[in-house]
Amino acid sequence: MTTLHDRIEPQSARDQLEALRRRGMPRGGEIVRVEGIADPVVTNPSIPFTSGGETVLAVRADPNREQPASRIVFCRREADGAWRPIVDAPTLPLEDPFVAEVGGRIVLGGVRVIFEGGRVTSWVTDFHRGSDIRRLARFATGPSHMKDIRLVALADRRIGVFSRPQGQKVIDRCGCLAKIGFTVVDSLDALTAEAIEAAPFLEGTFLPDEWGGANQAYLLPNGLVGVIGHTAWGEHVDGVHVIHYYSMAFALDPRSRRFSQTKVIAARESFADGPTATPRTRDVTFTAGIVRLPNGRAELWTGLSDRRIGRIVIDDPLVEYEAIRV
């Protein structure tokens, strides 16, 4: 039975992957058809969400991987099964979109890359909110050099915030590549870079030489938060630093901050073969999240190798967390 802990001894991403293979690796994931976008690369989506009564998918579109000027494009699914741009919807100068619903409003986020002299010097996460995708306005920006900030509306109407500090500051402080932090703010207006930066860490989610983050969070009926995210590691192969990204899940009690061991739920091998941006990203699933279905199953949405979008139906990884008594 799944249990929650104040701190855990992390399991390696490789061991969790092997555990999933023993249980049964999900197979047969499809490549999602996205058409009508001029940019040659369309990847790293949000999960599908509702805006103005229709189902929408936000995707990352890149004109050039060597020097990307990414944008978020909003698409709808047409009768032939392909997703195509919504003509009158805005585009946003961001990448890697994600979505949450807070107080009946859409909160749409993405990463804004900062260039100086043609080089990337920093990046931040921008947050937009509105009643639908045509009425979005930016209201907050996260700390410098931080991706994978995610929000979830809690039972007491406050907002849970997952952070993901990484880089030299984390290495110096903790001797590891990245951490997941968690804090609670009273409202969207209290979502500031300072509040996100100060989020206390969840200790034990990753080994020191591995990393990961939250990608989508779900309030469960028992008050726990189910998290769909990614866990990753890297290795040098023939002079190339190859990175391995797997989809994972865990649960968190937002009141006690106790949390479960992470578990890998899918990997790039769950999906059909396809192109990769570089040899470095061949084994990457950049997880968006799940759409929970009424039969104990769930649709997992993810970017694939920084080149395509994938979708696969799996056993709902959050069901076991709903059985935890808190």
Domain contains 269: no
Q: Which domain holds residue 105?
A: 44-141
> pLDDT tens digits for 112-128?
999 888 788 899 999 99
Residue at 126 is within a domain: yes
Is there a domain that residue 133 lies in?
yes
The count of structural domains within the chain is 1
| 237 alpha-carbon distance from chain centroid | 27
For the stretch 251-264, pLDDT in tens is: 999 999 999 999 99
| pTM of this prediction exceeds 0.85 | yes
In a domain, residue 106? The reply is: yes
- State pLDDT tens for residues 31-60: 999 999 998 999 999 999 999 999 999 999
Q: pLDDT, tens digit, for every residue of 187-240?
A: 999 999 999 999 999 988 899 899 999 999 999 999 999 999 999 999 999 999
- Residue at 316 is within a domain: no
Confidence bin at 158 (pLDDT 50/70/90): very high
Instruction: Judge whether 117 lies within some domain.
Output: yes
Residue 266 in any domain: the answer is no
Contacts of 213 (CB under 8 A, 6+ apart): 147, 148, 162, 164, 178, 180, 229, 230
- Give the C-alpha separation, 300 to 266, whole Å: 9
Is 230 contained in some domain? no
